[in-house]
Amino acid sequence: MSDLLTKIKHSEEKKKKKKTSVSQTDLQKLGLTGITLRPYQLDGVQWLSECQRKQQGCILGDEMGLGKTCQTISLLVFMSGSLGQSGPFLVLSPLSVMENWRNELQRYIHLIRYKYQNHFE
C-alpha cells in the first residue's frame, strides 16, 4: 500500500477509537445550569456529540417529555465549551415550540449567545 493510503487508513482508525466523553460535571463546568440530565439523556448527548464529531447527520426523536430540548441545549454547551466550536448553530423547530426553546435557552445557559427569529410574527 502506498504511503498516502497507509496514512489515511491509520488516521481513520484513530478517529474510530477516539471517543468524546460527556458528563454532567463537565456540562456544569461549561455553563449548563439548572438541568440534571438522566443517564439516558447523557447517553443521548454522547451519541449526538459522536455523530457531530463524525460529521454524520442525526435525528434525536423519541416520545414527548423525554428531554430532547435539554439534550440539544447540553450538546450546544458541550460543543461550544469543550470542543471550542463557537457556532453559529442552527436549530429549527416548529412554531408551536419556539417559545419553549427561547424560555429553555434563557433558563439554562448563560454563556452562549443566541438569536430567536420568527419570520411569521
Residue 120 placed within a domain = no
Residue 119 placed within a domain = no
pLDDT of residue 44: 92
Query: What is the tally of structural domains in the chain?
Result: 1
Distance spanning both ends of the chain, measured CA to CA: 60
Mean per-residue pLDDT for 91-115? 78
Between these two residues, 70 and 86, which has the higher pLDDT value? Answer: 70
Residue 118 placed within a domain = no
Residue 5 placed within a domain = no
pLDDT of residue 59: 85
Which residue from 72, 76, 97 is spatially nearest to 85, judged by alpha carbons?
Answer: 76
Residue 82 placed within a domain = yes
> What is the grid cell recorded at 62?
423519541
Domain that holds residue 73: 20-108
Entry pTM? 0.72
Residue 1 placed within a domain = no
pLDDT of residue 13: 60
Residue 114 placed within a domain = no
Residue 64 placed within a domain = yes
